[in-house]
Amino acid sequence: MHRLFSIALAITLAGCASLGYYGQAIGGHLSILGRTRPIEELLTDPTLAPELKQRLERVVVIRAFATRSLGLPDNDSYRRYADLERPFAVWNVFAAPELSLKAKEWCFMFAGCVAYRGYFAQTDVERAAAQLRAEGYDVYIGGVVAYSTLGWFDDPLLNTMLARPEPELAGLLFHELAHQNIYVRDDTAFNESFAMTVEREGVRRWLAAQNAQAPYAAYTERARRREEFMALMLVCRARLEELYVSDFSDDDKRTAKNELFNELRRDYAQLKKRWDGYAGFDGWIEELNNAKLISIGLYHDHIAAFEKLLARDGGDLTAFYLTVNELARQPKAARDAALAALSANLLDTSATSNVGTQR
């Protein structure tokens, strides 16, 4: 409560223009906290549904693994549970100009500038999206099953997270705890790609520790499909970037943009045939725009680079976290150059001379 009061005071001093948005954020988070109960207490409740009890018992084991085997924070995050009675914890809105892939950013007191804005009520995010569309932006709304307070609070386990298969649930916990380990202001792509790397490696180690061969095979198959789909999206994004900086007229750019989206849909239809008709990404293809492509890139831009850093550290997560921390302290331009070099397999030792050399 002391932290919340401090935040509220800072908001008030910042001016009334921010008060409404931060008010819903504080109110939404307090509402969630008010619903939580300690998981260990719930597990002794004789009225607890057997299926929920089983899922919570697994979360206790996964949470212990996260700290013991992955070096993730040992705190009270994900040791309390809340049923929100809704499908998502928050809804994020992304926006980009009609003929640009430069994301609109919003700046916050503690998180810095990020390429999305979160709302606890669907009506609020839809109102914000309508305003952005009226201003001429391409807009995308994405429901989010979990969010991180970056260690300011102990983040609870939510019902929105429990519907996932166990490997994905474990990955989600690892991902959000990774944000508490390392977070860089004003660099969404860095933060999300790092957390995705920890998520992937964590799930691999978790399933290996469980000797869960069948779940691992299913998880890797889902991951393979996701990577193939993302590859299509990223190719489309790269071609759009070339288009938007070209000398074509705006009308010609709009026409070419639609053609590229139609080509992407055709490529996806061919991909589905290889997947025997698996339709898990149909919702993404139905309505394409710049904002949706940006939301994908934020989570995947630097994964290859981070995976190479982890491999270079011999798979030692403690060493990897130190390496990433050193990289995080560099200016953004140097940080981006180092990650780009790693992704291209052209590691520039001068650009990363301070990465991984101090222990």
Give yes or no for residue 1 having a pLDDT over 50.
no
pLDDT of residue 269: 95
pLDDT of residue 325: 96
pLDDT digits (tens, 9 = 90+) for 82-93: 999 999 999 999
Give CA–CA dist 219/213, Å, rounded: 10
pTM summary value: 0.81
pLDDT of residue 108: 75
pLDDT of residue 4: 42
Ramachandran angles phi, psi of 211, nearest 5°: 50, 40
Q: Which amino acid is at 164?
A: R
CB 287 within 8 Å of CB 129: no
Containing H/E element for 333?
helix 332-343
Mean pLDDT over all residues of the chain? 88
- With 0-12 CB in 10 A as exposed, 13-18 as middle and 19+ as buried, what is 77? buried
3-class DSSP assignment, residue 94: strand
pLDDT digits (tens, 9 = 90+) for 23-56: 888 889 889 999 999 999 999 999 999 999 999 9
Per-residue pLDDT averaged across 240-252, rounded? 97
Confidence class for position 298, pLDDT limits 50, 70, 90: low
CB 209 within 8 Å of CB 62: no
pLDDT of residue 66: 98
CB 83 within 8 Å of CB 159: yes
Per-residue pLDDT averaged across 315-326, rounded? 97
pLDDT-wise least confident of 7-21, 45-59, 101-115, 270-284: 7-21
Q: Mind giving me the DSSP string for 118-131?
A: EESSHHHHHHHHHH
pLDDT-wise least confident of 4-13, 19-28, 217-226, 318-327: 4-13
pLDDT of residue 12: 37
**Averaging pLDDT over each range in 60-64, 160-164, 282-286, which range is the top one?**
60-64
pLDDT of residue 149: 84
Per-residue pLDDT averaged across 161-180, rounded? 94
pLDDT of residue 150: 83
Give yes or no for residue 355 having a pLDDT over 80.
no
% residues pLDDT > 70 (the chain) = 89
For 200, residues 6+ apart whose C-beta sits below 8 A from its C-beta are 171, 223, 303, 307
pLDDT of residue 345: 67
Give yes or no for residue 14 having a pLDDT over 70.
no
